[in-house]
């Protein structure tokens, strides 16, 4: 090391290292973009051909799924997915919002912390465990209902809805709670000062003010329910027929793990095709989610 | 027996360790404007909020002494707080309209108190907006979001919203501190107009404002009610040295 | 001017609000029900599963001749998948977060990367399975193997790591950066010596969340890593990674759905739940520490 160090030379060597690191971090950041690009390309590339071969309308609107016979209609699966998701949201959304109200506004002392810990745990339980519990605990109850209705005992749409609604509950609770907490206190003060009771204040002012956050939670819940595969596979009964509450159903997601192992040729391609349809569904839900968040953000600004 | 509409007797308030009000006894007569003045943190806003129990929502608060409305103790166990707040309305420091339409803001109070009749609601909304001197400005956009109004308009809307529940007393917590001079003048005019029908209690750090619009003035310092009397006496002939110092601008 | 329909002259008349009482009751019932549900599910799984869990169950492989079951191979497969996926995704996630928070000047690029991460986190695992199969197993000729599972899950947990690392970096006070810059330190030096140590707990939280996701993952791995759970691990790490094999969650599915062996399935479920509870406690510990700082 010389006494008089040249500032120019050190700066250059530092700058080189800086440039290398900067480029390396940029590449890391681009990994997510590249992944999305690859996933999109390969979903289309693998799922597109079968839809072209079968014909898009015949594929989407066909009512018969019989791969051995060359019939690849997935309408029953699309409808079952929609019904199961709608049913799960119908149960989980009001429940989740009310529990979030309890957590954010009504629960005293340390109770919210304890309940939140349990809800986090619920979110962490693997989906196969939900499937197992659904098959062992829930299915026998529904069997009784089916016997009473004169139907054969089997997995059912009702079982799928029940399991899904529990699985998406933590998402809806957590997102709604955050949204409710973010409502400015001055709105609530004003409502109370006008002589609202605590509940009137919450239901007439706080929840409406938090609606975009709650909608975002709902969109996340929809995404999770539409995409869930294993738990549903274990309870839904998996018959590719048009959905009815107490009859077995097969969702978009469940065909893939069910038939994956023994499918080949056009049959395998049809499973890729189902994957592509599911992918499009998810992208639409994602777009709705970011539209909700953007609108909510603009509103708060 | 005290004949005032609303009065406090030896009112103490603690926030945890902090002793924020130290034995306040004063009255708030109907159809007059009473101003609470004093430097920041003196307890004037806290005192105001004890009157309609808005401090109840603050965790760790402890209140002793009495607040009596028409001879009934506001802090008694059997008090219905929503009914109390219906009778004692409140306007806050910064305008806080709800994120809904102008109409729905004003109709909010009547609705939570059980009024559903559309025509009656229309009438109350119009009366209240007129009483708050904002009807002419908003009558063509009742269905528009309240948050699009200007700050001064929002504050008058909040006054209309408070009037719509037919209060007997209106509390105003520094209602003009976030407003421009023109809007401030409008709110002041309005306060003077409103005292014909309501008892008004206004917290302000603006002494000129207190002198302009109030009939009675109370001066607070460090949680104590230092002096209280007709506004002209307080401003022209204060009995206490501390009041004189504050009014003449020597501190605060 | 019309009177409000319910106007009471005295404030000391407690109004009855039966609908509100009902609603309060309903809210408390649902909240208590949610709590009770979680506790009951966990207790049920442990009560039903723990009897099957023994040292032999944890340390041996299934033996069809002796008719004993063991989940040791699945445990090893799970560890492999978790470890190697993190090896790929942690540098990518943390590096990406550093880029977003410390280097990026182009707003549009930042938004693009954040959008991509959001999109990734919205894609369901079954689709990761389809993509992983088509891309890693077929196109890159990795076949159905643990390594294909490793790479697929690495992509899947990338957004979790990116987001938590980004939040942790955002929480580092700006004054540290200014202080370091004022001393003439270069950016990379600042990152290495100050930002990463400060963000470490946040990054660990992200790692724990990722581990939780991977341990519970089944749909994707069923397609890309396959299901044989039988054999004791043999050979080099590379040899093992290029074989197919099931993790604990996949094994649970296999036992419950294909074979109807619910006792073994509940045994595995109990083990999984214990892992989940442990990860939750650790996450709470780190997250709590992070908040206190």
B173 contacts B45 by C-beta, under 8 angstroms = yes
Length of chain B, in residues: 252
Residue A217 makes CB contacts below 8 A (sequence gap 6+) with A96, A171, A172, A174, A175, A176, A179
**Mean pLDDT computed over B134-161:** 93
C169 contacts C98 by C-beta, under 8 angstroms = yes
Q: pTM for the full model?
A: 0.89
Q: Is A102 on the interface with B (CB under 8 A)?
A: no
Where do we find the tokens 């002419």? B136
pLDDT tens sequence across C174-187: 888 887 777 777 78
Please give the structure tokens belonging to residue A28: 């890391």
Please give the structure tokens belonging to residue B71: 């001879």
Per-domain boundaries in chain C: 72-263
Tell me which chain A residues have a C-beta less than 8 angstroms from the C-beta of C275.
none
Distances (CA, A) of A85 to A78, A130, A163, A222, A292: 11, 16, 11, 6, 19
Chain A interface mutation, best of B55, B79, B86, B98, highest count of A Cβ atoms under 10 Å: B98
First to last CA, chain C: 58
Q: From the list B83, B85, B113, which residue is nearest A193 (CB)?
A: B85
In terms of DSSP H, where are the helices of C185-261?
187-190, 196-216, 219-224, 237-241, 248-253
Q: What is the SS3 assignment for B6?
A: strand
At C195, is the pLDDT very low, low, confident or very high (cuts 50, 70, 90)?
confident
Q: What percentage of chain C reaches a pLDDT higher than 70?
A: 94
What are chain A's domains? Answer: 59-177+184-300 (1.10.3720.10)
Q: Which residues are paired to A66 by β-bridges?
A: A71
pLDDT tens sequence across A40-79: 999 999 999 999 999 999 999 989 898 888 889 999 999 9
d(CA A179, CA B189): 39
Contact between B113 and A299 using a beta-carbon 8 Å cutoff: no
**Mean pLDDT computed over B9-17:** 91
d(CA C46, CA A121): 14
Contact between C4 and B74 using a beta-carbon 8 Å cutoff: no
Please give the structure tokens belonging to residue B174: 């520094």
Here the ipTM equals 0.90
**Mean pLDDT computed over C4-29:** 78
Q: Is A152 on the interface with B (CB under 8 A)?
A: no
Closest CA to C138 of C150, C126, C148: C148
Please tell me the predicted confidence (pLDDT) of residue A172: 96
At C292, is the pLDDT very low, low, confident or very high (cuts 50, 70, 90)?
very low
Chain A from 162 to 221: CB within 8 A of any B CB? 184, 186-187, 189-197, 200, 204-205, 208-209
Residue B191 has pLDDT above 60, yes or no: yes
Backbone angles phi, psi at C146, to 5 degrees: -60, -35
Chain A closest CA to B45's CA: distance in Å? 14
Between A290 and B2, residue with greater pLDDT = A290
Q: Just give the CATH number of C72-263.
A: 1.10.3720.10
Tell me which chain A residues have a C-beta less than 8 angstroms from the C-beta of C42.
121
Please tell me the predicted confidence (pLDDT) of residue B106: 95
Backbone angles phi, psi at C77, to 5 degrees: -60, -40
Nearest CA in chain C to B110: C4
Chain C closest CA to A64's CA: distance in Å? 23
DSSP state of B91: E
pLDDT tens sequence across A169-220: 999 999 999 999 999 999 999 999 998 999 999 999 999 999 999 999 999 9
Contact between C4 and B110 using a beta-carbon 8 Å cutoff: yes
d(CA A227, CA A233): 12
What are chain B's domains? Answer: 6-96+167-247 (3.40.50.300)
Nearest CA in chain C to A12: C186
Nearest CA in chain B to C15: B80
Tell me which chain C residues have a C-beta less than 8 angstroms from the C-beta of B82.
15
């Amino acid at each position: 090391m010389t006494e008089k160090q040249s500032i120019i030379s050190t700066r250059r060597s530092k700058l080189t290292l800086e440039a290398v690191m900067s480029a390396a971090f940029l590449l890391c950041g681009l990994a997510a973009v590249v992944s999305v690009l690859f996933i999109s390309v390969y979903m289309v590339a693998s799922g597109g051909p079968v839809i072209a071969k079968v014909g898009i309308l015949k594929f989407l609107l066909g009512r018969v799924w019989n791969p051995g016979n060359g019939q690849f209609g997935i309408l029953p699966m699309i409808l079952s997915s929609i019904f199961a998701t709608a049913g799960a949201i119908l149960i989980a959304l009001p429940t989740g919002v009310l529990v979030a109200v309890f957590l954010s506004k009504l629960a005293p002392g340390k109770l919210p912390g304890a309940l939140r810990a349990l809800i986090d745990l619920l979110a962490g339980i693997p989906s196969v465990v939900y499937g197992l519990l659904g098959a062992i605990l829930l299915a026998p109850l529904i069997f009784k209902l089916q016997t009473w209705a004169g139907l054969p005992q089997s997995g059912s749409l009702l079982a799928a809805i029940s399991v899904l609604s529990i699985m998406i509950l933590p998402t809806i609770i957590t997102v709604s709670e955050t949204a409710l907490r973010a409502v400015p206190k001055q709105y609530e003060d004003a409502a109370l000062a006008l002589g609202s009771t605590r509940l009137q204040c919450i239901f007439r002012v706080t929840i409406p003010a938090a609606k975009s956050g709650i909608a975002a939670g709902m969109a996340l819940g929809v995404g999770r329910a539409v995409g869930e595969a294993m738990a549903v596979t274990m309870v839904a009964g998996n018959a590719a027929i048009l959905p009815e509450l107490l009859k077995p159903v097969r969702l978009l997601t469940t065909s893939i793990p069910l038939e994956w192992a023994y499918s080949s040729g056009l049959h395998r391609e049809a499973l890729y095709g189902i994957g592509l349809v599911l992918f499009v569904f998810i992208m639409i839900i994602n777009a709705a989610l970011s539209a909700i968040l953007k609108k909510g953000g603009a509103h708060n600004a | 027996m005290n004949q005032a509409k609303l009065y406090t007797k030896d009112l103490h308030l603690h926030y945890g360790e902090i002793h924020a009000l130290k034995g306040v006894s004063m009255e708030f007569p109907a159809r007059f404007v009473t101003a609470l003045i004093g430097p920041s943190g003196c307890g004037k806003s806290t005192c105001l909020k004890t009157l309609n129990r808005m401090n109840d929502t603050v965790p760790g608060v402890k209140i002793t002494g009495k607040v009596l409305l028409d001879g009934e103790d506001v802090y008694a166990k059997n008090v219905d707080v929503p009914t109390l707040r219906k009778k004692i309305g409140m306007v806050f420091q910064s305008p806080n309209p709800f994120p809904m339409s102008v109409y729905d803001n004003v109709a909010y109070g009547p609705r939570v108190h059980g009024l559903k009749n559309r025509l009656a609601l229309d009438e109350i909304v119009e009366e209240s907006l007129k009483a708050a001197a904002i009807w002419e400005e908003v009558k063509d956009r009742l269905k528009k979001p309240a948050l699009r109004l200007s700050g001064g308009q929002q504050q008058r809307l909040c006054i209309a919203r408070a009037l719509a529940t037919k209060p007997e007393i209106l509390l105003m917590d520094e209602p003009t501190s976030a407003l421009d001079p023109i809007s401030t003048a409008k709110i002041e005019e309005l306060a003077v107009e409103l005292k014909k029908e309501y008892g008004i209690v206004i917290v302000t750090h603006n002494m000129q404002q207190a002198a302009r619009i109030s009939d009675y003035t109370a001066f607070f310092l460090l949680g104590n009610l230092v002096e209280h009397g007709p506004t002209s006496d307080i401003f022209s002939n204060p009995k206490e040295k501390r009041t004189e110092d504050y009014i003449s601008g020597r501190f605060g | 001017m019309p009177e409000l329909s319910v106007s009471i002259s005295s404030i000391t008349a407690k109004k009855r609000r039966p609908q509100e009482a009902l609603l309060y009751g309903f809210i408390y019932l649902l909240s208590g029900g949610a709590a009770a549900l979680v506790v009951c599910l966990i207790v049920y799984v442990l009560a039903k599963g723990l009897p099957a869990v023994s040292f032999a169950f944890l340390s041996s492989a299934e033996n069809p001749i002796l008719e004993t079951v063991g989940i040791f191979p699945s445990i090893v497969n799970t560890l492999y998948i978790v470890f190697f996926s993190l090896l790929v995704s942690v540098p990518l996630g943390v590096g990406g977060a550093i880029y977003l928070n410390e280097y990026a000047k182009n707003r549009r690029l930042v938004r693009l990367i954040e959008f991509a991460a959001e999109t990734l986190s919205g894609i369901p695992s079954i689709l990761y399975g389809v993509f992983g199969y088509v891309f890693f197993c077929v196109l890159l000729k990795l076949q159905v193997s643990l390594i294909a599972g490793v790479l697929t899950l690495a992509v899947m947990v990338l957004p979790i790591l990116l987001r938590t690392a980004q939040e942790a970096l955002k929480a580092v006070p700006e004054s540290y950066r200014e202080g370091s810059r004022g001393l003439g330190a270069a950016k990379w030096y600042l990152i290495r010596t100050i930002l990463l140590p400060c963000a470490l707990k946040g990054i660990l939280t992200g790692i724990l969340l990722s581990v939780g996701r991977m341990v519970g993952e089944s749909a994707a791995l069923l397609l890309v890593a396959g299901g044989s759970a039988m054999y004791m691990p043999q050979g080099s790490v590379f040899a093992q990674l290029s074989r197919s094999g099931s993790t604990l969650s996949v094994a649970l599915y296999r036992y419950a759905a294909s074979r109807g062996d619910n006792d073994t399935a509940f045994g595995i479920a109990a083990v999984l739940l214990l892992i989940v509870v442990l990860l939750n406690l650790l996450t709470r510990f780190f997250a709590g520490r992070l908040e206190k700082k």
